[in-house]
Each structure stands twice: as structure tokens, then as C-alpha cells.
Structure 1
Amino acid sequence: MVGFDAKNKDTINPLYLCRSCNLILREPFQLTCGHRQCKTCIEATEGDVVKCAECSEESPKSEIMPDRGFRNDMKLLQISCSLCDWNSLFKEYEEHLIKTHPNPVCEFCHEKFNSTIRLDEHKQKECTKITVSCPLKEYGCAESVLRVQLADHYLTDQHQTAIVNVVKRSGFKIASDQHERMSTMDVDMGQGASNSMMTTTNETMSSQMQEIYEAINILASGIQTLNDDTQRLSTDSVRLQSSVELLTQDFATLKLSVEEQGAFLDGIKPNQEILQQEVASLKQKIDDMQYVSYDGTLIWKITSFNEKMMDAQSERQTSIYSPPFYSSPTGYKMRARLYLHGDGNARRTHMSLFFVLMRGPNDAILKFPFNYKVTFCLYDQT
């Protein structure tokens, strides 16, 4: 749990901000140095000693007490809600957040949370889409990057130069302070005073060495982050490789399915050609029916003659039939059959034309056998 966020946080007196989470104090506790931090920020510190985030002075947890008077002073602070246009006193802010924003959404990554407390923790420590300042900002690395890009930033020349500057500055300061103190020591000073001065010098050196250790810890933290990212990338690589294998299998299955469909379509193609021929034949029959005669006369115009002649010569289709015609509206049903390349004794030398008597709808009232005269006439229209 961290402090309260607000739109006007930057305009509020820094005294009311937690030195640890940089948010408005939630249940302020006062350290022995006089600075204040959130109760939960103190409880999150491991060990029995809390180091002040501002002055680095250490305070035993047993001596850190809640600052109720300061908390009462905070009640009259003017607050602008970080999630809406609400403006009122700080004492009403927590109740407003609970009632109005029970499930807030992070404006950076759009993740949903069950409380504003959890949202503030997320933005303070977890959100990868939020922009944060480099930990070495005070040492010359003023870069602001997305939290997810911090690991990459630690490898930049700017950050590495800042680390070197921290170490150099601290080392130079230690040497300079030591030289200054040693040069001001009176060689005639008594042994007790000399020991006292040496003790002070050692304490100063220890404090400065602590600053170096902190800088090194920041670098180590960056290295650990890089190691974690490397491990994560390795895991992602294995997962992606597995996904690629699955996609390869799916592709092989899809390819086989396409090949099977191709073979099926190849099998359909001959059938389609046959159907097209049958449709053409039916169309021809329909066209023929439009010219049915009912007066015993048939005028048969043979179309595509050359093509039909070639079919007859190759014996692909030796004969063709004329459209039916009738001797009268209630008479005999008849048609002609033509062998373009001849039939019987006339084969390959003459055309053979036959009269065909068909079964008709009026046969029951007609006279049989059929003994009427039939006349054939051939007209060459070339």
C-alpha cells in the first residue's frame, strides 16, 4: 500500500508527501530525523531499522510513532481527484475514492483494479507503460523512460557515464576530505585529540563509502533486471518456437487439405464438361420445339453443318434427328433422321435420310399402318 495520488500533488507542500513513495501521506509516521513516511511504506521496510529516504538517517522501528497532529493538519488540504474532476478537502478524499472509483483503470496501460490503493501501487511499482526517471537523476542521468525500457536504459552510455561519475566523485570527495583533515591536524596535538580527529575522519569516510555502495547497488539492481529480462526472453523464445512448430503442423495439414480439394476439383472438371454438352443439347432441343409444325410439312434447317459432318465422318455421331412435327393438330407425330455420311450401302458415298414415325398423343384415334406418301426435298443454300 502506498500514499494518495492527486492531480495537484506537485503543488502541495512537500511536507505532506511521503519521502518513500512520493505520494500524499497515508497514515503519516514521523522518523527520529523529523521527516515523515506512510505507515505502510515503513512496514514494507525489512529489518528493525528504517532509513530515511531524504536524509538517509536511520531510525529504529520501535522509536517511530504515528503523527496524529500532523494527520489532523492534512485534513484541510485542498485535493483534486487523480481520476475525475472532484475537488474538495483531503479528509473527504478517501471516502470519495471508495464510493466513486471502486474499480479504477490505469490511464497508462488500461489495466483494471479493485481499488485506488491497488491502482496507486501499480503505478508506483509495476506499470510498464508509465514514464519514470533514472535512479541516478541526481548524478547527471536525467533521462526519463518507460519503466519497461529501464533495463535498456541501464546499458546506455549516458547511464554508464553517470555511474562512473558517481564513483569518481565519491572517491575524490573521500580523498579530499581526508587530506583536508590531515593537513589541519596540529602535529603537536595531544594523543587524545588526535584519536578524536581520526575517529571523525573514519566516520566521514564510512558515510561516503556508503554512498558508493548505494551507487553500486543501483548498478547491481540494473544487472539483475537485465538477467531477469534475459530469462524472460529465453522463456518467450521457447514458447515462440513451440508456437512455430504448431503453426508448421497446421500449415502442413492445410496444404494437404488444399491438395485433396484440388484433386476433387480435377475430378469434377470432366463431369462439368459432359454436363455442359448435355445442356447445349437440351438447349438445341428447346430451340427445335419452337419450330414445331402441325400441317404435315417440316422445314429442317441444319445448323453447324461442317461440325456435324465431321462428327459423322469420325463416327462420333453418325446421325441427327429433326425436330418433331405433326401431320395435323391431332395427327401423326413424325420426324426425320439424317445420316450425313450415309448408312448401309450408301455409307461414305451418299447422305441417307429416313422418315421416322413416332409414338404420339393421338395414336389411339389414328389409322395404322401408316400408308401415306412422304416427299423429301434437299435445298442447297450455299
Structure 2
Amino acid sequence: MLCPYDAGRTAGDLKAIMEWMAMSKVIDLDKFREFFLTEVEEAYPEVERTDSLPEAIHKRAAEIGCYRLTLPVEYGGYGMSVTEYLPYLEASAEGPGVGRMLVHTTNGIWRPVHNFGNAEQRALLPKMGAGETVIAFALTEMTGGTGRDLKSVARREGDTWRLSGEKHLITWADRADWFLIVAATDDGSAKDSLTAFLIPRDIEGFEIDATQHTMGLHGTGHAFLRYKDMVVPDKYRLGEVGQGLEVALFFLDYSRVSLSTTMVGLAKRALDESVKFAKRRVTFGKPIATRAQMQTHLAMMHADIEAARYLVRHAAKLCEDGKDFTPQAATAKLFNLNMVGRVTDLALRVHGGWGYTREAPIERIYRDARGYWFEEGTAEIQQLVVARHVLETSAAA
């Protein structure tokens, strides 16, 4: 898969982007990180209690440019390339999971809308960048897998469609104004059997059940979506009939690199917390940081994080250069899934019993990390992609 959003950018484009960023006073990286480690962190008790995002955090995120980072300049964004964007995304992941989800989803969902949307649909993007509109990506189902295994169906009736089915674990469903839904429009299992729709929240027959609470990532508004014979005007179709899988992949290919980067950021925070704790925790008259076993844990965590960061940056560079990056992105995601599990396991061991209490930041970090096993492609799916690449390239050799 070629990177769909960076190849072919000219020097003139870069100059325009830099001028726009200077004019817009885009926040520097340290101040960007500080927002997630202070304001979002301080708001997290309310997030945990209510399992919803405080409106004040949403507004502040919009003010500092969280939703504009990769959004094209034509829509009021900063137009950052992948490699320019990744340090910001990694920084956002050092705070509570709700923060990195704000950055990750908004800097991805504009891509299919921009590339497949009509003028009316694209008009939503400046509002999204300003924090005035929220768009949710709705693919995952309880009754089927993803891709060609979707059980949601859409039957055409003249200038309208009738959609029936369900979705679950849909991020930001509690506050989204629009939903990008992919459904089957053909009885076959070919890649052109799916079609995408961008439907408004208030459409008749659309049930949003925001009672789906998760182990971690609190405040991200996960919900069930249900619809039976929901009448959807054809103007809400996103892309051509049969382009649904292509539309979905325009978000999902981005997400492999994006999510891998957030795993690095969360793992870094776990290491930072472990170092701080190891220096202040004293046993038998000495900080545990002086003990060889604790130093071994910290060293292994650091090595894992460094390797993970370079893997994802390599995939991002291929993407930015317009090259096929699917195998490298899948490799990064597979490695980083396991990496963030190993690092947070070791972090909990460094913290001892204290780390198992709600008072310790690592307790929340540990729970947030487990969400990665299910986000936009499991480890098993990444293994298939990587194995296919290995077999094909080995055969070619």
C-alpha cells in the first residue's frame, strides 16, 4: 500500500505549510506534551468518574491545535507530514489514553472524507479541525469481523438506502456529530462488496447506546450502534458504491503507524514513572534503583522503547516517500503491541504492590495499554500480514 497523503509534496507546499504554521502559532512540542501531562492529567479523576471527556478539555485541545496537525492547509490545518507529526502524537500518548485518542482519531478520520467525500462532506473538515464537529469511525461489529466479513447491510431503493445492522466499541460515539459507517451492499465477499456512508447523528432510526464501558481508555465514549431499515439518502454515501473497503483502509493504513507511535509514547511514560519510583522507593536503606535487578528491568524497558520507536519511524519514512509501507507498518504494530505489554508488565513489577493501587499512575497506564490488543487490527491480523510478506519475499529470493 502506498502512503495516501504525503507523496509528491512540493517545495512550494512545504513553504506554504511553514508560513501557515508560523502564522497560526502552532504550539511547540514541549508545550504540546505539557498539555497532556498537566491539564489532561489533572482532569482525569473526573474522566474516570464520569467515563466521559470534559468539554473544557475538548475545547483546549482544539485551541492548541490537536485537531489540525495533519489536516491539509486548505481546511485550516497545519498539513504536517507523517514524520513531522509523529513526535506530537507520541507526546500526546504520555498522558491519559483519552488524550492520545483525541489526536489519533481526528488526524486520521479526515483522510477518507477528503479523498472520497463530496463538497458538502468535505465542508465538515474545517469544523472538525476547529473542534466544532466530531466524526466517528464505525467499522467493528459484534456479529462479524471486519473488512469483507461485515454483517451490516445496505439495500438501495432509488435515491435512498436501507441500512440494517450493528457496530460496537465505536470511539467518540457519545459525542460524534457524524458517523463513517461501512456496510455490505452486495451478497459476495469481494473487496467491492462494501460501501461507506457518512451519516448524521440525528438521522431517524439510528440508536446510539453509550453504555459500553471498557477496562481502560476511559472518557473515549465507546458505544453500540444499532439500526434496522434505517433510511439513508444517497447524498450521505461516501465514495462510490463498492468502495467501502478502500474508504476504510484510507483510515486503517494510517492507523497502523499512528497507533504504533502512541504505544511508544505510553511505554515511555511507564518507564518515566518507573524511574521516578525506583529512585524514591527505599528498602534496606537504599533506593531500589541501586539494585541490579531493578536496573535490568529499566534497561530492558528502555531498549524495547528505542527499538519500537525506530521501527515505526522507518515505516513512516517509507510512507512519506510514497513507497509500499504495509509490511513495515504491520511489523511495527506487531512488535509494538508486544513491546508495550512487556514494558508495562515490567513497570508494574518495579512499582511492586503500590503499582496495583489506584493511587499509582502505572495502574491506569497498565489498563490503557491493554486496549491496544483490540484496536484496529489484532496482533493475529498483523502476524498474517507479516508472514505473508516474509513468504512472498523469501520465495522471490
TM over 0.5: no
Structure number with the higher helix fraction is 2
Q: TM-score, normalised by structure 1?
A: 0.29
TM-score relative to the length of structure 2: 0.28
Choose 1 or 2 for highest CA Rg: 1
